[in-house]
Amino acid sequence: MAQTETAAATKTESKKAQLIEGALYVAGKPLDLQILASVVRLRSEEKVRGLARSIVERYKQSNTPLQVIELQDGRFVMQLKPEYVSAVKKLATRKLLTPGPLKTLSFIAIKQPVTQSYVVRVRGKLTYGHVKQLRDLDLIMESKLGRTKILRTTRSFADYFNLSQDNRLMKRQLERLFIELSTVGEKEKEEEA
């Protein structure tokens, strides 16, 4: 009788781990323990953390281009291992942003916290539409300050672009990235000439 109960408990745990894995796959972004607990209908965040960590270990042991990792803030994410990104990124069919909103987002990220009125002065009237789109995608947030708004990037922004949550460190990461991108752009122009 005890073996049957143990087998049933193991099967239930396995099913819950599979649900967590499925949730991480479908979400495509980091999920916290509360969300994962609601998916598997468990109250104990410790049990959920244990299940998620077992998935992390299973992916470490398997020979797959995917990985599940635990972030410093305790959230979990399923993502492509870095060594595979450059080879397959051209297959991503849906770009998140067109160049205009992407430039506006870059400006906000580097200057944050920044007033919307300043961003509009620098980037032009189309910025209002960009800000709405970026807010809808949960890449920026706004707070009121008198007649204007203060714009900042969100945790989702840092997660999506694999940047630090700390604003100072994020700005340094972005500056390095922009330097790398401009160097690549210059090399491409030289090769075309």
CATH number at residue 134: 1.10.10.10
Q: What is the mean pLDDT of the chain?
A: 85
Nearest Cα residue to 108 out of 59, 29, 66, 171:
171
pLDDT tens-digit series, residues 97-156: 788 998 999 999 989 899 999 999 999 999 999 999 999 888 999 999 888 899 999 988
Q: Are residues 124 and 101 in the same domain?
A: yes
Average pLDDT over residues 23-32: 88
Q: Are residues 107 and 188 in the same domain?
A: yes
Residue 127, burial from CB neighbour count under 10 angstroms (0-12, 13-18, 19+) = buried
Q: Which pLDDT does position 28 carry in this prediction?
A: 81
**Pick from 58, 82, 106: which residue ends a domain?**
82
